[in-house]
A = this chain, B = another copy of it.
Amino acid sequence: MSKEKPSLPKGTRDFGPEVVGKRNYIFNTIKKTFQKFGFQPLETPTMENLSVLTGKYGDEGDQLIFKILNSGDYLAKTTASDLEQGSKHVLRKISEKALRYDLTVPFARYVVMNRNEITFPFKRYQIQPVWRADRPQRGRYREFYQCDADVVGTKSLLCEAEIVLMIDEVLTSLGISDFTIKINHRKILSGLFETLRAQGSETDLFVAIDKLDKIGQEGVSKELQEKGYTPKMVDRLFTLLSIEGSFEEKLHNLEVAYKQAIGEPRDNIELDETGNYNGKTKVGFLRALDNFVGFEQVKQVQDFLKNLNFKNFNRLEFDPTLARGLSYYTGCIFEVKVNNVKMGSISGGGRYDNLTGMFGLPDVSGVGISFGVDRIYDVMEELQLFPESAQNSTQVLIANFDRQSETFALPILQQLRTAGISTELYPDQVKLGKQMTYADQKKIPFVLLIGSKEIETGHLKLKNMRTGEQESLTLEEIINRLAA
């Protein structure tokens, strides 16, 4: 047996009692909201077949997947020539399983494998850890929880509206009040690309815009010009993105700008002498027009919210710069930012049209939201929002003076527990000071002191550890006070 000092793998954490209590407070609040909205829990295994995960997260993602070595004589199938071909080649021969990288791909796998048993629309939530072989740094771990809720099998925008309601309810329940729910639509972003009449790639544009928060206008401008966008296009981009006003005004003004640039839907499309319309082929023009659906859908989400009596429109912002990176979203996208706290987004999501296409099941549209529990935890610590009840600590410690007091205390211990009061009897007869320290450090709010006088009179001494006050009370009085 090794007697070296044990340690934790880098990027992983132990969660002691206090932290687990606080984390569970967040998880339970999220679960409660998910359930109130009709979502049901799903749990998938930690290990997935490598073939299920590979190719779903891009080359960089594939690198970050933790692979599990086959058990037994894992080298049995490898030859010297295999080994010469290096790690990537050998991998297929020595590893067939890997740790879950996110909750989305396992969810898609589950839907495909159980498509005949599932009643659609399928509303599931999933709260489980995921693993990524990222370089650990402040706030970035190799094992962390994701908290996802998705509806698949319906295109109704009611689901998008309910996502806004759920975000609002979860954060409000947690005591976070100053936050902004940003909404955009992938087709509004695609329209942006169309209005620029750029030759570059749409993806380059999304990726660059996504970094606006981090590298600023100058950085984005530089990156786009490196990708072949002209300074004129970039200028036009920032003019469009800098549109000001209320939710409706921004949406309206951007739509008007798009119409000016792209043209409006019309019955007759008169082609010019080059066979184009307004600088685009007919197909290109129709595709560009299709992007106006984005404005329509965001407005419909807003209408749903009004009818649902949503009161906090001040928290909802239409943000045409919101891009959500290289993800698989195709419709509305969301992101949530806590105001006046230095912290990235604490929640994000959106609609995807083809979640299960990766496993050969096309046309399953869905929309989902994900909460970042580590970040929410940090925000709540900073704003001191955790209630004491998040601690789950013992309510009463009965001090253990001597054999007589211990024996007298035993039935009392069980009577308190039976009344639903979590109670401990200190198991050893040690100095009272040590027992008090125990109560203190475990944040136990009450200590029950039973000496010979108390045994005689039946009036027990209850010490409030916060105020230091002591009261003589019967067991019944104590139960009435603490079980309340």
Contact = CB atoms under 8 A, between A and B. Distances in A.
Interface in A87-117: 87, 90-91, 94-97, 99, 109-110, 112-114
A51 B2 CA distance: 7
Nearest to A159: B427
A3 B124 contact: no
Given A16-B42, A36-B422, A42-B15, A6 B80 contact: no
Given A47-B9, A154-B428, A83 B86 contact: no
Nearest to A82: B83
Q: How large is the interface on A (under 10, 10 to 19, 20 to 34, 35 or more residues)?
A: 35 or more
A75 interface: yes
Interface in A202-247: none
Given A99-B68, A425-B158, A6 B75 contact: no
A340 B291 CA distance: 66
Contacts of A413: 308
A55 to B, nearest CB: 5
Given A71-B63, A437-B119, A113 B394 contact: no
B71 A68 contact: no
A151 to B, nearest CB: 7
A95 B113 contact: no
B35 A427 contact: no
Interface string A1-15: 111111111001111
Given A55-B2, A410-B307, A131 B46 contact: yes
A63 B72 contact: yes
A417 interface: yes
Interface string A355-383: 00011100000000000000000000000
Given A41-B21, A42-B15, A121 B309 contact: no
Contact of A427 (B67, B121, B394): B121
A179 interface: no
Nearest to A67: B69
Contacts of A1: 55-56, 358
A310 B75 CA distance: 57
B68 A393 contact: no
Interface-centre pick from A44, A49, A158 (highest chain B CB count, 10 A): A158
A395 to B, nearest CB: 9
B80 A410 contact: no
B67 A42 contact: no
A4 B51 contact: yes
Contacts of A468: none
Contacts of A36: 417, 420-423
A169 to B, nearest CB: 8
A265 interface: no
Interface string A430-448: 0000000110011000000
A281 interface: no
Contact of A6 (B52, B55, B90): B52
30 contacts: A1-B358, A2-B55, A3-B358, A7-B49, A9-B45, A12-B46, A14-B110, A15-B42, A17-B42, A21-B40, A36-B421, A40-B392, A40-B393, A46-B99, A46-B143, A47-B131, A63-B72, A66-B69, A66-B71, A69-B94, A69-B95, A75-B83, A76-B87, A83-B83, A121-B427, A121-B428, A123-B424, A308-B414, A309-B410, A309-B414
Interface of A: 1-9, 12-17, 20-21, 24, 35-38, 40-49, 51-52, 54-56, 63-64, 66-69, 71-76, 80, 83, 86-87, 90-91, 94-97, 99, 109-110, 112-114, 119, 121, 123-124, 129, 131, 133, 142-143, 151, 154-156, 158-159, 165, 304, 307-309, 358-360, 392-394, 397, 406-407, 410-411, 413-414, 417, 420-425, 427-428, 437-438, 441-442
